[in-house]
A and B are shown apart, each in its own frame.
Chain A
Amino acid sequence: MSKAKVGIVVFPGSNCDHDAYYVFKDILKVDTKFLWHKEGNINDRNIIILPGGFSYGDYLRCGAVSAHSNLMNDVIRFANKGGIVIGICNGFQVLCETKLLPGILLRNNNLKFVCKTVSLKVENNKSIFTGYYDIKEDIDIPIAHGEGNYFCDDVTLTELIGNNQVLLRYNDNPNGSIYDIAGIQNLKRNVLGMMPHPERVSDSILGNTDGLRLLQCVAESVM
């Protein structure tokens, strides 16, 4: 039985919160609760999920307003102390806005929202996130975003590659991301940001379960 205690942050406009909750609670049978941005308490949680969606409507810039919410201050402290944080899609954008992860997510290079299943390559499987995959394994996980075009400067990119922070790369780049980056971890290896949605491919009823292994790996990393 996993000791994981998952907290799923709910911003106004989060809309993949229920999907992440369903996977942790109903499929992985892990202690899971929602954390409302105004009153959520992360103290008894050991894994924090920033779910996909359009927090605050993404009206200023994706993730920019959420990054300054009260609860995010707690999440930043939590992450800096080594707590596990996963940002999926809009959550990845929030992590970049808070600087917990380097770089930024620009509009897709074709300027259109795109929702489809894409093939990813596992670039590094020595992480608490990707440990259940084989190195260089191809996995299929859907994307659904208008602003998933990862960008950073050359120095940062060299560091990301040199420090094995790049975990997932697109086999057929759908959005223009630099170095085909789909997901990265921070230097301390406790924070993951990824544009594809692992929670959407975690239920065997729907066929593909390539995403479940990632979420399960994290849940079981907490002893």
Chain B
Amino acid sequence: MAEPEVNLDLAIEHGLLEDEYNRILKILGRTPTYTELGIFSVMWSEHCSYKNSIKQIKTLPRSGGKLLVSAGEENAGLVDIGDNLAVAFKIESHNHPSAVEPYQGAATGVGGILRDIFTMGARPIASLNSLRFGLINSFDGKNEKNNLIEHTKYLFKNVVKGIGDYGNCFGVPTISGEVYFEECYQDNPLVNAMAVGIVKHNETASATAKGKGNPVFLIGSSTGKDGIHGATFASEEISEKSESKRPSVQVGDPFTEKLLLEATLEAIRSGVIVGIQDMGAAGITCSSSEMSAKGECGMYINLDLVPLRDENMIPYEIMLSESQERMLAVVEKGKEEIAKQIFEKWDLNCVEIGKVLDEKNIKIYHKGKLVADIPAFELVLGGGAPVYTRESKEPAYIKSKRNFDLNSVREPTDYTDVLKKLLSSPNIANKNWVYEQYDTQVRTNTYIMPGGDASVLRIKKTNKALSMKTDCNSKYVFLNPYKGGMIAVCESARNVVCTGALPLAITNCLNFGNPYNPENYFQFSESIRGIGDACRKLKTPVTGGNVSFYNQSQEYAVFPTPVIGMLGLIEDYKKTVTSNFKNENDLIFILGDNKGEIGGSEYLNTIHNLIKGDAPDINLDSEKNLYGAVLELIDRGFINSAHDVSDGGVGVALAECCIINKNFPIGCEINFDYGKLRKDFSLFGESQSRIIISANKKFEKDILAICSKYNTSVHNVGIVGDNNLKINSEINIGVEELIDFYFNSIKNIME
């Protein structure tokens, strides 16, 4: 392939702005080569440079607490959990690849995030995800567009298969996640993958290049033409032309990744590695420039030494390839043979392609010719990459949605029927159809399986366990970005608290529309403000994450979806609590107050086909008090179950408490004080900061005392027992029937 002439038009074709191209000319003092243009265009793409988001991101609390590494310093955050152990965790999006090639898009999303974890020396112990699709059913005639439904089912099915096949083969349990279905995700599904790993304090690795003359090795798969400009593709809107971007999607090989994991950990432990970084977006370009910039050095790379799948690749393609399962490592000079032996043992390429230089530029050679010569610092985030603040404007829809008179909604006559519909709506129904396709148990640490609030993994040879969850209610963020951001943090924290875990830190994946649209930018900056306020109050710093803009079709953006991945620590795994009711005659209490808020609720969405009103209120002080109360109740062994009230309100939460352990369902009888609220608002409203607990009657006084100590209101609402869920005179249904609606709904839609 002949290289085209570099000029402004070509730069614009590469997604660069005119100003940006002029800056490149100034930095280099000359016209860039074609290879250099490619390098700048990917490094300054939204995906790699965070140019439109970094100013906002920097307002988040990104250090302190138990953080060993501040956000952005390494490939993933690192949190101290005691016992000389640290947890590395991070979430990342793979939305656009999954929109055009769902199986490989999702699989390589998982692969990429796993590499981020083990490149730090941590062994991955869990994989999680957060998924959003268009509608998969025509519930109540809500969506008659059958071909759209079929396409969405195809995406859903293959994304799940891609996530499963990659994680299952790699040998990491996929233990938790969330899946939502809304029309706004029809053209642009969201596929966010999270990974969690464990490392001893003294066995971590850094993504830094240093030491003049140290050799640079390329490890793992050969480099091919796949995934060229993947990062650029991620930085533009989905359109009809996107189908043609299918070659931008990488192809995953979980088997090679598994070998790469074992070999990388072995090499890091052997002490020969100076620095190592995985190759994700922008391949050799990104890893070489980021490692060099971080180590304040330069790097010489000879592309003739890179193992290729296709001998005819030009330097531009080699530098931009996003072929998967590769790492770039700086090895201590003189220890090359030890490194090579380790990688050869695992049948992996381990080829010296360059050296660390005692200067500031990365110098790329091909067939004896210098094809790129760029100061590394100028390429990277925090260095010369552009930083913008975009215009922000409150979207017009917000006021009109908020002014909607919620009391105009028709009051239902058959509450049992409403509950059945809610439990079988794909947003609420159990996701067993999904998680049974994932290996949830490999490595034999899974202490609480998926399906409940958060999943829990014990840590072998300690008393500790980790609780983790991904969460975001994007309807709330859509209606009120600030409150929605706060609630996303609180809900994920509440989930881990319900298992008995202290929330430690978060990672976030910020999925938004085109940032050049002021309304989208308002959603973005406001929800970040909400996340920041919640994280400061709850003392859960942000360890890192990912921003994904341009999630939209030509007509509309997705709901703003800042997904939170929460990590919680349980000091004694024996004190872990699950969400299901367990014993006949246990008393049932609801902690927190019911305000009958149905704005943005699943009830309004599923039963009335409306996404209107305001997001529920959230008081961070009440929220924090609630955690104090529940954690002490669990620590002192007073309660037998804890489950948070979320989508579908108290009605759905109580039903889940009865049936979430479908092998041991049990009923309950509830006498609920509606107060002055409408019955439907009371039963299905989604007021925040509420947790349902059950306990032996003998602990009633202790429970009341602890709740009072934490200034948390507590309501005795009923008793566990029998085979029916009975709520006042409104609802009476057998638990077996509930199980059928809740556990079989998605399977019935998909098969």
Contacts and interface: CB of A to CB of B under 8 A. Distances in A.
Interface in B236-264: 253-256, 258-259
Interface string A111-150: 0111110000000000000000000000000101010000
A210 to B, nearest CB: 14
B444 A206 contact: yes
Nearest to B171: A15
A59 to B, nearest CB: 7
A142 B258 contact: no
B436 A54 contact: no
A206 B440 contact: no
B447 A12 contact: no
B437 A113 contact: yes
B522 to A, nearest CB: 42
A151 interface: no
A18 B265 CA distance: 15
Interface centre among B170, B255, B440, by most A CB within 10 Å?
A: B255
Interface string B627-650: 000000000000000000000000
Contacts of B168: 54, 113, 115, 144, 146
A58 B169 contact: yes
B345 A38 contact: yes
A117 to B, nearest CB: 9
Q: How large is the interface on B (under 10, 10 to 19, 20 to 34, 35 or more residues)?
A: 20 to 34
Given A59-B255, A113-B168, A16 B442 contact: yes
B438 interface: yes
Given A54-B255, A206-B458, A142 B441 contact: yes
A12 B258 CA distance: 8
A173 to B, nearest CB: 15
Interface residues of A, number: 32
Contacts, number: 83
Contact of A15 (B256, B258, B460): B258
Contacts of B436: 114-116
B169 A54 contact: yes
Contacts of B34: none
A22 B444 contact: yes
Contact of A205 (B346, B439, B443, B458): B458
Interface stretch (A94-102, A185-193, A196-204): A196-204
Contacts of A110: 751
A78 interface: no
B570 to A, nearest CB: 13
A117 B443 CA distance: 15
Interface in A1-53: 12-13, 15-16, 18-19, 22, 36, 38, 52-53
Interface string A142-182: 10101000000000000000000000000000000000000
A202 B441 CA distance: 12
Contact of B258 (A13, A112, A116): A13
Contacts of A59: 255
Given A15-B170, A205-B573, A113 B446 contact: no
Contacts of A112: 161, 437
Nearest to A39: B345
A49 to B, nearest CB: 14
Contacts of B161: 112-113
A101 to B, nearest CB: 23
B112 interface: no
Contacts of B259: 12-13
B409 to A, nearest CB: 40
Interface string A54-70: 10111100000000000
B544 interface: no
B165 interface: yes
Contact of B441 (A36, A38, A54, A144): A144
A199 B444 contact: yes
Contact of A57 (B254, B442, B443, B447): B254
Nearest to B173: A115
Interface-central residue, B171, B346, B447, by most chain A CB under 10 Å: B171
B460 A22 contact: yes
A115 B258 contact: no
Contacts of A205: 447, 458, 573
Interface-central residue, B170, B254, B437, B441, by most chain A CB under 10 Å: B441
A206 B164 CA distance: 23
B347 A115 contact: no
B437 A114 contact: yes
A195 to B, nearest CB: 13
B640 to A, nearest CB: 16
Contacts of B438: 113, 115
Interface string B338-373: 000000011100000000000000000000000000
6 contacts: A16-B442, A58-B169, A113-B439, A115-B436, A115-B437, A144-B441
Given A57-B256, A205-B447, 4 more contacts: A53-B171, A58-B169, A113-B438, A144-B439
